[in-house]
Amino acid sequence: MNNRKLLKYHSWFGLIAGLFLLIMGVSGSILVFHKELDFWFFRTQYEQDYSGELQLDRAIEEVQAVYPGWDTRLKQFEPGKVLVFDLRHQQQRAYLFVHPTSGKILREVDANTHFTSWLLKLHYSLHSGAVGRIIILLAGIVFFLSLLSGIILYRKSIFKVFAFRIRLRPHNKRSFYSSLHRYVGVWALFLNLVLVVTGIILAYTVAKAGLNPLPAPSGPKLEISLNESMAELKTDFPQFTPTYIRLPLNKNADITVFGKFAGDAFYFSEFYNYIRLDYQTGQVTSVKKVTGSSFSNQLASTVMPLHYAEFGGLTVKILYSLIGLSGPFLSITGFLIWLKGRRKKRQKRKKLS
């Protein structure tokens, strides 16, 4: 394929993906800081210190009495800190802040209208249900094709751009936009490939889940003391640090305790390690460790941390945020280059005629 035809495909891929890149890039650049934003929004609850022993059983009993049958998850259960519940029931979703010793609900938030949750839903579905999820998946594939065609198209100049051997050309707008487009595209290339590949995998998973939704949860009440079970886990699995608890969805499900095992690579997702407990007896029914599992499972566990920058601290998050904005920038400059090119062609036609 000659460069002229390849440039045409590259331009069309960029134009088609352009609008969605604006939405996904800007929303993704903000969502990198979702934990920091949530801490700021709920700082009154998060910054409060509490004395006394953690009483998970009281809290769960109170929550299940107010929200019977909901899919109930515990996001934070640190001693001396507020308990944070994430509750879901079909299209409804709520965040609850619960007193860690008395079990009383301190604050209820409609998660569907909360800023970061609303933005996340925009990012992966455009707030358009299963259709929106499929559109985002297709937009991600088109963006990948745009990057791939760009790599082939500019393959001879990639290393020259890295070495600053190609200068910006400010003598006219189209040349200037083209130079900027090339520089940003090359310098952001690696991380954009990471983001788009992991994004496609996540978008496929989300779209598939949207087409095959889970049945409505029934959320049975626990017949054991979760306090005692968590204490036993600490004794029986001293190398395991629990980070997230999901109560059973129905009478045939278990309590799932997600977390990290000592020695896990920093780029492994916490949600690929878990210990499951029978909600009636407290017995361990299964244990899954990502370390030592199959290569495909370990590879799959890296997708979420790599896409959401769940490693490396603030420096990595800032870098991800800037790279996230490079997609919209490439879309805008690509559109301007295409527009200038069309105008130039029209002017030539007028002169010839």
pLDDT one-digit tens code per residue, 256-276: 999 999 999 989 998 999 999
Query: Residue 75 domain-assigned?
Result: no
Q: Residue 334's domain spans which residues?
A: 3-18+126-213+311-352
CB 314 within 8 A of CB 32: no
Q: Could you give the 3-state DSSP secondary structure of residue 141?
A: helix
pLDDT of residue 312: 79
Does 260 map to a domain? no
What confidence tens digit (pLDDT) does each residue in 155-173 have? 877 787 777 777 766 666 6
Give the other-Cβ count within 10 Å of 136's Cβ: 25
Q: Which residues neighbour 156 within 8 Å (Cβ) at sequence distance 6 or greater?
A: none
User: 41 pLDDT band (50/70/90 cuts)?
Assistant: very high
- Strands in 105-110's sheet, in edge-to-edge order, are 105-110, 92-98, 83-89, 71-76, 240-246, 255-261, 274-277, 284-288
**Distances in Å between the alpha carbon of 332 and those of 99, 184, 335?**
48, 12, 5
- 3-state secondary structure at position 27: helix
pTM of the model: 0.86
**Is 83 part of any domain?**
no
Residue 235 lies in a domain: no
> How many CA atoms, within 13 angstroms, populate the side-chain half-sphere of residue 273?
23
List of E strands, 39-192 = 71-76, 83-89, 92-98, 105-110
Instruction: Express each pLDDT in 314-338 by its tens digit.
Output: 899 999 999 999 888 888 877 777 6
Share of the chain above pLDDT 70, in %: 92
| pLDDT for position 181 | 76
Query: Cα–Cα distance between 262 and 238 in angstroms, integer?
Result: 9
pLDDT reported for residue 213: 79
End-to-end CA, the chain: 31
DSSP state of 52: S
Backbone conformation region of residue 121, classed left if phi is above 0, alpha if psi is from -120 to 50, else beta: alpha
| Mean residue pLDDT across the chain | 89
Q: Is residue 23 in a domain?
A: no
pLDDT at 151: 87
| CB within 8 Å of 39: residues ≥ 6 apart | 46
Count structural domains, the chain: 1
Strand partners of residue 83: 98
> Is residue 139 within 8 Å of residue 21, measured between CB atoms?
yes
Q: Return the SS3 of 238.
A: coil
Confirm if 32 and 317 have CB atoms less than 8 A apart.
yes
- Residue 306 domain flag: no
In a domain, 14, yes or no: yes
Give the per-residue pLDDT at 352: 60
3-class SS of residue 79: coil
Q: Which residues pair with 84 in a beta bridge?
A: 76, 97
Within a domain: 342: yes
Q: Which residues contact 223 (CB under 8 A, 6 or more apart)?
A: 279, 280, 281
